[in-house]
Amino acid sequence: QEEFNLDKTGTIWKELLVLARQPGVCNLGQGYPDYNGHQVAREAAVQAMLDPDKSALNQYSMPTGLKSLQDAVCAYYNKFYGLREGQAKRAIGPDNVLVTVGATEGLYNSLKALVGPGDEVILFNPGFPFYLPVIRLMGGTPVFVELDGPDFAPDLGKLEKAITPKTRVLLLNSPHNPCGHCYTKEEVEGFARLALKYNLFVLSDEVYENTTFGDVKHWRIADEEGMFERTITLCSASKLFSLTGWRVGWALSTPELLKGLNISHCMTSYCAPTPLQHGLAVALEAEDGTFEGIPKLVEGNAELLGNALREKGFGVTQPEGGHFLVADTSPLGLKGVECAKLMLTNAKVSVVPGIIFYFADPNADKNVDLDRPLLRFALCKRRDTIEEAVRRIRQMT
């Protein structure tokens, strides 16, 4: 248990990455695709690198981003999102877009801009592991609101109880990593009501925005009345275009809110890689919302894997969107870490134990057992990878 202490999350993660990349392992661990990234983006980026007429695209862009990418981002969001029916649609312009080095940089610099010592940040537990260390680095105090299975939907009553006069930021994530819940319209309206009532900023991590299943729709909190002014939305080309190694993302907000973010952005990375920004601008302009079929592939993967895990006796939370599926290992009488090790040794399938996603409360009893009976499976994989994993899981003893 000691070695899986959450302060050592980075170490467990690294160990898992090494094990998962061993030959013959079916890797459903870290969330990155084993299929090709967006074709249009890759071709346009290569052209930017090789075409002598495009040599300027290999130099610094403006720190806020390559203008063509900012414009393409605006056109995309203005086309696919907007306010509720009957209300004027808020068009975003280039001043509302800051291109970052992945959503990871957006997250870091947003929290740097919004949070100082003594400020409380509310976040849901479990969640994306990077949130907690960054809040702590900024001197902020994390306040956890537990998400309960099997659906892991947020409880607005619990959330309101967690708000204090020191609360400054509400950190949201939908589609959710790891649980796959997508906020409903009512939940998003509830968050907006609380943010307005208690004067909170919202940091909304929407990196999986294009991956919702069936009739589920992605609702943006920034589109709620009065919310754009107090929300920073984080988006990622890693996820939209299956290009996690490109390290490009963008933050959407008002110029006032983006200003603080941009200061540290300039001092750290200055700008995201210019030829890659160009590739993404071209791809986003051409995008019809189907993203070369990847969200559909992920949805089918969720179905296939979910059914196989249910047959094996796991408690499966069928995701509504995002790139992951979580399964409860308690019906098998196993803890998360134990089960993850078993999957790796017995079936050569690499997954991530739930402990990675559960934030440790520093005031909690040291003996509290963080090893929850949960496993996370990555779905952003080729169909044959998932089929092979399913075959191996079925044969597991």
Residue 103 touching ligand PMP (CB under 6 A): yes
Q: Which of 33, 65, 102, 180 binds ligand PMP (CB under 6 A)?
A: 102
In whole angstroms, how close is the CB of 224 to ligand GLN at the nearest point?
Answer: 26
Tell me how far, at minimum, the Cβ of 385 lies from ligand PMP, in Å.
18
> Which one of ligand PMP, ligand GLN, none interacts with residue 249, CB within 5 to 8 A by kind?
ligand PMP
Query: Cα 352 from chain centroid?
Result: 15
Residue window 150-179: x/- pattern of binding to ligand PMP, with contact defined by CB under 6 A: -----------------------x---x--
User: Binding of ligand PMP at residue 240 (CB under 6 A)?
Assistant: no
Dihedral pair phi/psi, residue 326, rounded to 5°: -110, 145
Q: Which of 192, 169, 23 is nearest to 110 (CA)?
A: 169
Strand partners, 97: 252
Cis-peptide, bond into residue 117, ω within 30° of zero: no
Q: Look at residue 262 and give its three-state secondary structure.
A: helix
Block residue for tokens 């939907």: 153
For residue 392, the tally of other CB atoms under 10 A from its CB is 16
DSSP letter at 361 equals P
H helix runs in the chain, sequence order = 9-20, 39-50, 67-80, 102-114, 131-137, 156-162, 185-197, 237-240, 255-268, 274-286, 294-311, 336-342, 383-395
Residues 6 or more apart whose Cβ sits within 8 Å of residue 53: none
Nearer to ligand PMP, 104 or 329 (CB): 104
- Which of ligand PMP, ligand GLN, none binds 102 (CB below 5-8 Å, type-dependent)? ligand PMP
Smaller CB separation from ligand PMP, 132 or 347 = 132
Residue spans of alpha helices (H) in 152-273: 156-162, 185-197, 237-240, 255-268
The residue among 191 and 324 lying less far from ligand GLN, judged by its C-beta, is 324
CB of 125 to ligand GLN, least distance (A): 15
> Does residue 207 interact with ligand PMP by CB under 6 A?
yes
Owner of token pair 């592991």: 129
Judged by CB under 6 A, the residue of 249, 273, 321, 353 near ligand PMP is: 249
| Residue (87 or 270) nearer to ligand PMP, CB | 270
Looking at residue 208, what DSSP letter applies? T
* Per-residue binder mask for ligand PMP (CB under 6 A), 19-58, x = binder: ------------x---------------------------
The encoded tokens of residue 67 equal 């203008």
Q: Is 320 in the site for ligand PMP (CB under 6 A)?
A: no
Residue type, 33: P
Smaller CB distance to ligand PMP: residue 104 or 385? 104
Query: Residue 376 forms beta bridges with which residues?
Result: 326, 352
Contacting ligand PMP (CB under 6 A), which of 77, 81, 124, 128?
128
* Nearest approach, Cβ of residue 102 and ligand PMP (Å): 3
Site residues (vs ligand GLN, CB under 6 A): 30-31, 177
- The listed partner (ligand PMP, ligand GLN, none) that binds 30, CB under 5 to 8 Å by sort, is ligand GLN
Report what 140 binds from ligand GLN, ligand PMP, none; CB cut-off 5-8 Å by kind.
Answer: none
* CA 340 to mean position of chain CA atoms: 22
The helix/strand/coil state of 40 is: helix
Would you say 57 or 134 has its CB closer to ligand GLN? Answer: 134
Shorter beta-carbon distance to ligand PMP: residue 81 or 250: 250
Over the range 107-139, which residues count as b (16 or more CB within 10 Å of their CB) and which as e?
bbbbbbbbbeeebbbbbbbbbbbbbbbbbeebe
Q: How far is the CB of 215 from ligand GLN (least distance, A)?
A: 25
Closest CB to ligand PMP among 205 and 224? 205
Closest CA to 209 of 275, 287, 271, 123: 287
CB of 60 to ligand GLN, least distance (A): 25
Residue with tokens 């010592």: 117
Of the pair 31, 353, the CB lying nearest ligand GLN is at 31
Write down the least CB distance from residue 30 to ligand GLN, Å.
4
- Measuring CA to CA, which residue among 120, 126, 193 is closest to residue 162? 120
Site residues (vs ligand PMP, CB under 6 A): 31, 102-104, 128, 173, 177, 205, 207, 236, 238, 244, 249
